Amino acid sequence: MRPFLVLLTIFALVGCSVAPAANGTEPTIAAIQTEVAAMQATSAPALFATATPRGPQPTDVPLPSIPTPLPLDPALGSALRTQEQLLTAIYQRASPAVVSIEVVSAPSADLPEGHPPLGMFPDGPSAQGSGFLYDDQGYIVTNNHVVDGADTLQVRFYDGSTSMARLIGTDPDSDLAVIKVAELPPGVAPLVLADSRSVMVGQTAVAIGNPFGEQNTLTVGVVSGLGRSLSGPSREIGRFSIPNIIQTDAAINPGNSGGPLLNINGEVIGVNTAIAVSLGSSTFEGVGYAVPSATLAKVVPALISTGRYDHPWMGISMFALDALIAQRFGIESTKGVLITSVQPNSPASRAGLVVGERLERYNGSQIPVDGDVILAIGGKPVASNDDLVGYLDADYQVGDTITLSVLRNNELLDVQLVLDPRP
């Protein structure tokens, strides 16, 4: 077959390149074949070499016959088949609401003195993340860190259509943001929020997003943990944490940020936000984090209406206790949080919470170990800093009065405190 294929190729090339004859007529097929024959005889013998015939082959001894295996019982795959059908249905329902967000940022204004001005924008998007449709008015939820510093936002929908978007509001303290598009493609419906407070470890978790720009990618895992905490923004008075984070092993990578984490009903239980990585790595290693939908349900309406959300604030720094610390420093309680500082003019200061005077060194820092220990808030036991911040975020708002159970000089007290917004 090879000489024939090469011959056909030469026919095509020659037929496209031969000039017309002198009388203006096209060359005949016979003339073309004559020219090809001449080329075969002179300039390109290697192209038309005949194949070397094979010599006689040994006769193999027949192998024993093997019976064809019987097909598997369809009932054996019924559970997996049901799972496949469920995941397919979740994807078909939720994927159209998941978008890719392309961010264009102007070059940093922090240039050396005398540096010539830079152009307004780079040639194309400088960052990319995910988001999902929150309602039928074009509001889209994503992460604050996806849109932070953006000058221009473009949304790319599941069908490839694009739309410019404008920033509506951001909340760095929960790493949430809302953007808006003026029009939606047909067939797109917003996602429904579940109550993340009812989520349990071991339940299925489905992530849809755009890892590494691969649009509308589905990954599946489980809810691996609840009540985790992520480091939040730093301010002059200290660094706040993002509480009540959902941990999952559904694969999340750069570009997934801002996309939904779904339950098996296709409802949003969280917003994929971060991954834990080892030193020198930036890809998923089995630990991903999502801001819970309960936080989303409080923050997003405020961002849409006012552009911001005020988190409740007590005005303390704290240190979680355990048996080792209690024994070392002679503290009566082996659980709870020890108050290590109180901000002036804060709710904690007005409520009279006490910082100790006896300083002890622990892990390179001086800690006052004889102050108030918070054991509970609103009757819920507090075992760690994350517990206290998590209860504040989930159960209370600015202006609420909370009741703290406090251990002071080996005496149990109830302290009333009115919450302020974070400064």
C-alpha distances out from residue 109 to 118, 119, 168, Å: 9, 11, 23
Residue 257: active-site member: yes
3-state secondary structure of 4: helix
Spatial contact of 124 and 176, defined as CB atoms under 8 Å apart: no
CA–CA separation, 133 and 96 (whole Å)? 9
Report the amino acid identity of residue 333.
S
| Catalytic choice (130, 163, 174, 257) | 257
| Catalytic choice (100, 145, 174, 370) | 145
3-state secondary structure of 15: helix
CA–CA separation, 207 and 250 (whole Å)? 6
Question: What's the half-sphere exposure (Cβ side, CA atoms, 13 Å) at 259?
Answer: 35
Residue 145: active-site member: yes
Residue 395: burial class (beta carbons within 10 Å; 0-12, 13-18, 19+): middle
Residue 170: burial class (beta carbons within 10 Å; 0-12, 13-18, 19+): buried
Residue 175: active-site member: yes
C-alpha distances out from residue 45 to 41, 49, 50, 141, 279, Å: 6, 6, 10, 68, 61
Nearest alpha-carbon partner for 348 in 381, 310, 392, 390: 392
- Distance from chain centroid for Cα 93: 19
Report the amino acid identity of residue 230.
L
For residue 82, give the DSSP letter.
H
CA–CA separation, 92 and 119 (whole Å)? 42
| Catalytic choice (175, 249, 372, 393) | 175
* Helices and strands in the chain: count of H runs, count of E runs: 8, 22
What interhelical angle do 29-41 and 2-17 show, nearest 10?
Answer: 120
Active site residues: 145, 175, 257
